[in-house]
A and B are shown apart, each in its own frame.
Chain A
């Protein structure tokens, strides 16, 4: 067994914890969201829009989407690093993934706060 202290350098501990923290945030939001959908049963545009009209729901949905994007980043980075071996191609797909995720975050803000 290699004896080393897993703090200080980048051993992946931070990402490991973030992946679980964001998962818990998303799980809680999922349960709350399904409960709201079950209670309101939004069949009309006004009812559906009404769910996202409150400041709390905007805030919660935004926190959910930011957690989702961070979670996706760690997950997709692990997948690319497992299967994409050439360095140049790997760098390219990692950068492309990061770029679209940042774009999605901006898009999510625009969707939520224009409502």
Chain B
């Protein structure tokens, strides 16, 4: 019985270029990519934290590194990824308790996540990086 079920061929469509994700799907894949990227950048963040706290000299050196426009851009992207992961995560917690599970609310809450995370990124980024 189990063998028959496994062998049954099902149609698959895994061409990434032909799949059009709905908005909550885009939110979801960004949530995943942002999480993975934050993991990969974690040693850099710990390094920044370490040097910013070690001594006045290393603090000044970190300030110099962060003043670099390219580093600023990366950190800005990192803040956005954190904020997106944060807001999308809160949305998932609400979905877990069955808040906003119908299609219209799920789409609306996705728009809210994008809007709020970008707004938070601009506020925090402006405060921290300038």
Contact = CB atoms under 8 A, between A and B. Distances in A.
A115 B42 contact: no
Interface residues of B, number: 25
A102 interface: no
A98 interface: no
Contact of B42 (A37, A45, A49, A72): A72
Interface in B89-130: 89-90, 93, 96, 124, 127-128
B124 A111 contact: no
Contacts, number: 51
Contact of A27 (B36, B49, B60, B90): B90
B55 to A, nearest CB: 8
B36 A107 contact: no
Interface size class of A (residues with CB under 8 A): 20 to 34
Interface of A: 20, 23-24, 27, 30, 34, 37-38, 45, 48-49, 52, 68, 72, 75-76, 79, 100, 104, 107-108, 111, 114-115
